[in-house]
Amino acid sequence: MSRNGPRKMLRISLFFRLTAAALVLIALAGGAFAQSQLLNGPRAAGSVGERYDGLAVVRSSGDAALVDSINTERRKVYAERAQKENVPVDQIARVYAAEILKSAPAGTWFLKEDGQWIRK
């Protein structure tokens, strides 16, 4: 086995643990994710979307204060989880972004990393 084999297995294992942890946190609807339900109306209207990095974004005349508040809470959750798991914050945020995409209502806009918008 190459020297990188154990590292690769550790990264894969860590990814699955992070995914499971994200599912648990979202299922509990704690903090930022309970607040995310407040975005359902603006999401349906298309004025607020979600980003590839787990943050909400104002699309057009959306409630910037609400989005800022939710993103502040999300950043706290991501930072705490990253510290606990000893991984980069952006790695945690991307796991959460995937879960947000799954749980967001139909019609929600998502900004992909390449700058393209897609609608669920």
pLDDT level of residue 28 (50, 70, 90 thresholds): very low
> CA-to-CA distance for 113 and 30, rounded, in angstroms?
26
pLDDT value for 8: 60
pTM summary value:
0.71
pLDDT at 27 over 50: no
Range of the domain at 83: 4-119
SS3 at position 77: helix
Chain centroid to CA 58: 15
Nearest CA-CA partner of 48 in 111, 93, 97, 102? 111
Q: How many domains does the chain have?
A: 1
Whole-angstrom Cα Rg for the chain: 15
- The least confident of 7-16, 49-58, 98-107 is 7-16
